[in-house]
C-alpha cells in the first residue's frame, strides 16, 4: 500500500471502480464503511493488514419501491412521522430483503420521503429497530428534519426506553452496563463487546422478578446495533426469545425476542417543542407475561408515565 493509498477515501475510490473520492467520503459519512469491524471515520488512514468492509448503496433499479403496507401512525406532520413498528417488519431493505419493510410502506404513504437523505435504500430513516423488535420509531419527512433529528441522536438528546424480558434474576435491581461494541470478527452478522469497539451505555432497572427471568425497563444512552441484546447477554442475562445472543433452547416460550421500544422523546426539529410518544406492549408479549402470572391489570400498569423514569 503506497503512502497516498493509506487514506481510506482514496483506497475505497480505487477498489470500487468508477467511484470518485468525494463519493467515497460520502460512504464514510453515511456509515457504510467499516475498518476492522468498527465504523470508519472521516480522514481515517489505513495500516497494513487492516480489513475494510464497504456496503455500497443499491443501483437505481434496486431501490425500494412503494408498497401498500399498513402503518400504525402515532403522529404525523409536514416534518416527520412517528410510527409503532410491528415485530417482523424490517426498518429498511437489506441482506436479501427488499420488500415488506417500513421504508416500502413509507414510500407509499409519503412518496416525497424518497428524496430525504443520502442513502436511497433508507430514505427518511433516522434510527432503526431490529426486525423482531416492536415499538416507537421516528421518521424524517424533510432533509432539514433528518439532519436535526440525527444531531439529537448523536448528542444524546433523544430519550429511548424499552421493555425487555431477560433470563435469570438480574442484580443489582438498577445499574448501567458500559461496554464498547463492534462487529464480531468471527461472525460478521453479530455484534460483540470488543475493547476497540464504539462506546455504548445501557441503563436498566428491574420492574418485576419472575421464576427464571426478570422484566426490565431499559434506557439507551447510545444507539449501537443490537446494543440491548448484546449488553444483557454480556452480563449473563440474554433477552428471552433471542436466538442470536441467547440460548439455542429457550426455557421460556416466546414468539420472538422480548424487546419493545415503548417510549421515544425528542425535540421537534422545526418548533423545538419536546415531544414524547409511547406504544403499549403488543399482544404477543402480553401473552408471555400472562403465562408468567402477570394479570391484565398489572400489564396495563406497565406504562412509562406510571412507573417514572431513570
CB 166 within 8 A of CB 237: yes
Among residues 130, 184, 267, 284, which one is catalytic?
130
Grid coordinates representing 136?
416507537
Q: For the CA atoms of 175, 236, 220, 182, what is the dihedral angle to 10 degrees?
A: 130
CB 223 within 8 A of CB 232: no
The neighbouring-strand residues paired with 218 are 162, 204
Nearest-angstrom CA–CA distance, 162 and 180: 20
Continuous segment of H or E residues that includes residue 230: helix 227-234
Nearest-angstrom CA–CA distance, 87 and 7: 41
Active site residue 130: yes
Q: Could you tell me which of 181, 266, 166 has the C-alpha nearest to residue 217?
A: 166
User: Which alpha helices (H) appear in 75-118, and where do they start and end?
Assistant: 102-109
Q: In terms of DSSP bridges, do strands 38-39 and 33-35 run parallel, antiparallel, or are they unpaired?
A: antiparallel
Q: For the CA atoms of 301, 280, 117, 46, what is the dihedral angle to 10 degrees?
A: 60
How many other CB atoms are found less than 10 A from the CB of residue 228?
28
Nearest-angstrom CA–CA distance, 23 and 117: 14
Positions marked catalytic: 130
Amino acid at each position: 500500500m503506497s503512502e497516498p493509498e493509506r487514506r481510506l477515501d482514496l483506497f475505497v475510490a480505487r477498489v470500487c471502480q468508477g467511484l470518485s473520492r468525494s463519493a467515497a467520503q460520502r460512504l464514510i459519512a453515511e456509515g457504510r464503511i467499516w475498518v476492522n469491524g468498527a465504523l470508519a471515520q472521516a480522514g481515517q488512514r489505513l495500516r497494513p493488514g487492516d480489513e475494510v468492509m464497504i456496503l455500497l448503496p443499491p443501483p437505481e433499479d434496486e431501490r425500494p419501491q412503494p408498497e401498500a403496507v399498513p402503518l400504525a401512525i402515532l403522529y404525523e406532520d409536514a416534518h416527520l412521522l412517528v410510527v409503532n413498528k410491528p415485530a417482523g417488519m424490517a426498518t429498511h431493505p437489506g441482506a436479501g430483503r427488499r420488500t415488506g419493510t417500513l421504508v416500502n410502506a413509507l414510500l407509499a404513504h409519503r412518496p416525497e420521503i424518497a428524496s430525504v437523505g443520502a442513502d436511497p435504500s433508507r430514505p427518511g430513516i433516522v434510527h432503526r429497530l431490529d426486525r423482531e423488535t416492536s415499538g416507537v420509531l421516528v421518521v424524517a419527512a424533510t432533509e432539514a428534519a433528518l439532519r436535526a433529528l440525527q444531531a439529537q441522536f448523536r448528542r444524546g438528546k433523544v430519550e429511548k426506553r424499552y421493555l425487555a424480558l431477560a433470563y435469570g434474576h438480574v442484580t443489582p435491581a438498577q445499574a448501567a452496563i458500559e461496554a464498547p461494541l463492534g462487529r464480531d470478527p468471527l461472525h460478521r452478522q453479530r455484534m460483540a463487546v470488543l475493547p476497540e469497539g464504539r462506546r455504548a451505555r445501557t441503563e436498566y432497572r428491574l420492574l418485576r422478578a419472575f421464576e427464571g427471568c426478570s422484566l426490565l425497563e431499559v434506557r439507551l444512552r447510545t444507539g449501537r446495533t443490537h446494543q440491548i441484546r448484546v449488553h444483557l447477554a454480556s452480563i449473563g442475562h440474554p433477552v428471552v426469545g433471542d436466538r442470536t445472543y441467547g440460548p439455542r433452547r429457550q426455557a421460556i416460550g416466546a414468539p420472538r425476542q422480548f424487546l419493545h421500544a415503548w417510549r421515544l422523546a425528542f425535540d421537534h426539529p422545526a418548533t423545538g417543542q419536546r415531544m414524547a410518544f409511547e406504544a403499549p406492549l403488543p399482544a404477543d408479549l402480553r401473552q408471555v407475561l400472562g403465562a408468567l402470572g402477570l394479570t391484565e391489570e398489572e400489564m396495563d400498569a406497565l406504562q412509562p408515565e406510571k412507573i417514572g423514569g431513570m
